[in-house]
Amino acid sequence: MEAPSKNLAMDLVRVTEAAALAAARWLGRGDKNSGDQAAVDAMRLSFNSLDIDGKIVIGEGEKDEAPMLFNGEHVGTGKGLAVDVAVDPVEGTNLLATGRPNAIAVVGVAPAGTMLDPGPSYYMQKLVVPAPARGVVDINAPVGHNLKSIAKALGKDVDDLVVFVLDKPRHKGLIAEIRAAGARIQLHTDGDVNGSLMAVNPRAEVDVMMGTGGTPEGVLSACAIRIMGGELFARFDPQKEDEKRAMIDAGYDLKQVYTASDLVKSDEVFFAATGLSGGSFLDGVRYTGTGAVTHSLVMRGHTGTIRYIESEHTWDKLMRFSAVKYD
């Protein structure tokens, strides 16, 4: 298998920028599907200008009956490198619709055949930790035990830790265990890719992410985690009986624990994310009198390069990539 030699990350950031520019016009307008559709259309248009032979392995839309860049769809001109593609045109559609922080547009790319196809799985249990704690945790261990181990590895007390948890009914017991251990919690309604990024980024105030989130988001997060040096431990966690039955029928082992390297089996991985609604991790799209400003994170696994990019865009580019009509 030939690994990509070109730094695709700088091409991918144009894809996430286009999605963010298109979707951000829907910020706070209460219509998550229209915002998602705008991002999908812009992302697809941008992808198809790239000289790659891309196949969507991690798409979006089926779970929420939203507009899709669907699994199996081919993107790019077809003339370049063969790659697996993971996308989330709007990670946090509810955040975008309500105008809340931390909605982002995200893309990950790796050599063809290296991304795990999650099949019919929608949900997985995840434990994401920064690099110093990657060898001291066990997803099967009690929450309190893992928190003590993480705190020791980071040179902190447990009550110094901040844990990212999705604010869902399924996490009632998890939240109680974290509080009993003495750690602090950030509860987020959506956005577990963002949570994974914060857990492995030393710039962020989050120390660990725990709980059950989307399986596609887990694979997408693994692209970034491989580059940033933290670790993801994950296990399929179907939330409904039909999802569980479909997983068993497809031959998946529900007890198997996956790491980031299991989900994405190559170091030659690329990742880009652009902020839509702003937040603690990436600033959002800011419109000006002559265009807009975006803030992005761009990474390449082969070199370990991590770039934070602020870009200015003219009205001409905004109009080309937006589903919204401009006056």
Q: Is the dihedral of CA 130, 112, 193, 293 positive or negative?
A: positive
Please tell me whether 160 is known to bind a ligand. no
Please tell me whether 88 is known to bind a ligand. yes
Please tell me whether 252 is known to bind a ligand. no
| Cβ within 8 Å of residue 67, ≥6 positions away | 33, 36, 37, 40, 41, 61
Please tell me whether 170 is known to bind a ligand. yes
Please tell me whether 237 is known to bind a ligand. no
Please tell me whether 304 is known to bind a ligand. no
Distance CA 119, CA 64 (A): 16
Buried b / exposed e over 82-115, threshold 16 CB at 10 Å, is bbbbbbbbbbbbebbbbebbbbbbbbbbbbbebb
Please tell me whether 243 is known to bind a ligand. no
Residue 57: in which H helix or E strand, if any?
Answer: strand 52-58
Q: Are 225 and 194 in contact (CB under 8 A)?
A: no
Please tell me whether 169 is known to bind a ligand. yes
Please tell me whether 190 is known to bind a ligand. yes
Tokens of 324: 């919204």
Please tell me whether 91 is known to bind a ligand. yes
Please tell me whether 238 is known to bind a ligand. no
Buried b / exposed e over 150-171, threshold 16 CB at 10 Å, is bbebbeeebeebebbbbebeeb
Distance CA 237, CA 170 (A): 11
Annotated binding site: 36, 60, 88, 91-93, 123, 168-170, 190-192, 214, 217
Annotated binding site for Mn(2+): 36, 60, 88, 91, 217
Annotated binding site for substrate: 91-93, 123, 168-170, 190-192, 214
